[in-house]
Amino acid sequence: MKRTIIAAAAAFAVSLSLPASAEFKLDSRYSDMDGDLVADIPDASEQTDPGTLIFAYTPVEDPAVYAEVWSDFLDHVSTVTGKKIQFFPVQSNAAQIEAMRAGRLHIAGFNTGSNPLAVACGGFRPFTMMASADGSYGYEMEIITFPGSGIETVEDIKGGKIAFTAETSNSGFKAPSAILKADYNMESGKDFEPVFSGKHDNSILGVANKDYPAAAVANSVLKRMLSRDVVKPEQIKSIYKSQTFPTTSYGLANTLNAELQQKIQEAFASFEWAGTSLEAEFSKSGEAQFVPITFKKEWEVIRKIDDANGVEYSCQ
């Protein structure tokens, strides 16, 4: 069945009884005259036209692996734009957002949970997302454990530990926190002890090696790790699977030259996946193309989850 974010968002909102999203505000350094919830491109005098474009992929796994994964695509962007391009191996979501805010990062893929903060504080303008060949897209949050852990259901986590990735992660923290509270009446620090691994691959390896009794992870990352034999199916047991969420979005720093932004968007739209390093990696989790998205529409459910968790987008 084709997955749609609209249906998934509606179902998830109902299951958690989430309120309507509160007003989303950008940092005072940005304007949003057209009401699309992302920073406007500034006047020509404030736009930048760098000689070398810097690209960063969300730090979910080993950055060294992804420098090669993105190489064919970045060559394509270079051809379309006429610019040199460099892969920037970021180690954290915070570093990635700060780099864009400071003008040191021009093109980026930000993970689902950090998108609102990147938009509000970093001037990030998301416009596309990976999708399968039939146009469906998204991933699910899964709570995993290892066979023999004594954890058979979500309720069995009570009184023990669960690994999260980072507080900016949707599937690694925000969504499971909201679900555990709304659907199971379990609160962090009261009913279970949270531990933070830093990244999804750390959480998955931690469960597989029995360092963590349970973890909340993005199953897109889990699928890729299983396909590379980093972990084996018999090491992992899933006890919960969420509704579908939007996955990593790709976009630009708002200060880039308007004509250059258009060329970069054209590069994403015209990239041919067949036989490339990007296809070799992301076909493992079902992706086969880039499709257009908007932050206002596709990220509504994520903003609602943030509201339910009391998240504020501080840009200090």
The tens place of each residue's pLDDT in the chain, 316 residues long, gives: 233 332 333 333 333 444 455 679 999 999 999 999 999 999 999 999 999 999 999 986 677 789 999 999 999 999 999 999 999 998 888 999 999 999 999 999 999 999 999 999 999 999 999 999 999 999 999 999 999 999 999 999 999 999 999 998 999 999 999 999 989 999 999 999 999 999 999 999 999 999 999 999 999 999 999 999 999 999 999 999 998 899 999 999 999 999 999 999 999 999 999 999 999 999 988 999 999 999 999 999 899 888 888 888 878 7
Task: Domain 141-245: state its class.
Answer: alpha beta
Which residue spans of the chain are classified as CATH 3.40.190.10?
5-136+246-308, 141-245
- Residue 113 contacts residue 217 (beta carbons within 8 Å): no
Q: What is the CATH number of domain 5-136+246-308?
A: 3.40.190.10
At position 175, the amino acid (one-letter code) is A
Identify the pLDDT of residue 1: 29
140 forms beta bridges with 244
3-state secondary structure of 99: helix
What b/e sequence results for 62-71 when a residue is b if at least 16 CB atoms lie within 10 Å of its CB, and e otherwise?
eeeebbebbe
Phi, psi of 163 (to 5 degrees): -90, 130
- Residue 96 contacts residue 110 (beta carbons within 8 Å): yes
Instruction: Name the burial class of residue 83, with classes exposed (0-12), middle (13-18) and buried (19+) by CB atoms within 10 angstroms of its CB.
Output: middle
